[in-house]
Amino acid sequence: MKKTLYYTDHYEILLPVGHKFPMAKYRMVREALQRSDAARLHFEPAPLASAEVIELTHDAEYVRQFLGGTLSALAMRRIGFPWSEELVGRTLASVGATLCATTEALATGWGGTLAGGTHHAFRAEGSGFCVFNDIAVSICDAFSRGMVERAAVIDCDVHQGDGTAQIFEHDARVFTVSIHSKTNFPFRKQQSKLDIDLPDGAGDETYLCALDHALPQVYAFDPQVIIYQAGVDGLAGDTLGHLKLSHAGLRERDRRIFEAARARGVPIVVTIGGGYSIPVGPTVEAHANTYRAAADVFCI
């Protein structure tokens, strides 16, 4: 049976020339997977999340101002995108994709979105290319609907998941893990339930040892769903990363995470996270490999 992945590249944001954010990667990842894995994966455009669901996590006034285009110029600079109707559509679709993927995971064991992982968004402000925190929204929605009582976040982006950490800092129902570069953005770190700071230049062996340290603590928490922020910006040569992971190391990271979830019967949701290689080809390949790894483990 094919697994559905939800995508958002039907919404395009026009960014200034030279902007750091690789918007084209989302379409390129989908197209790469359609070429290589059409027998295992099905692709659907993500629906738009409602403001009401987003407000389970985010401050209602912040949500209203963003949707209406009345956030201050300073707030938009902190997010890193110019406001537009297209940005609103893509943002709502990104959250909608993770909501759909979470429902799919709880029903079938795993779900995926070719977007999301916007872990720098706080309750009442955005940051670092993140407007709303799709990870947190999906967890809060699952709680509100009585679908789960405990959730875990495994954040493997090279940048700490600071927004997610702060949103759930005092919530005993959520175990947040962030494995990230110590010296990289955000420079003011928040407190996850488990933070693993890696030194500049850390490679595959160091990274996988850190992951092996984290995974038993995740499962000791006994989560009923896991949200996996599968950033690939730890790849050697990434323009916004300080680590030196190889493609093989990232594939092994993904395999260990997926096999652990499958062995324990814990549903897992895959979000795309960061990746900023120039040219973008290595980032696209690394992201596509994550979904191939999931299909290898679950689509059997």
Q: Treating both helix axes as pointing N-terminal to C-terminal, what angle do 281-298 and 24-37 enclose, rounded to 10 degrees?
A: 40
> Tokens 């209602």 label which residue?
60
Establish whether 120 is a catalytic residue. Answer: yes
| Selected catalytic residue, list 58, 119, 120, 159 | 120
Q: For 156-206, give the DSSP string.
A: -SSS--HHHHHHTTT-TTEEEEEEEESSSSPSS----SEEEEEPTT--HHH
Residue 21's SS3 state is coil
Helices (DSSP H) in the chain: which residue ranges? 24-37, 51-54, 60-68, 73-79, 85-108, 134-144, 162-167, 204-220, 247-264, 281-298
Q: List the catalytic residues.
A: 120
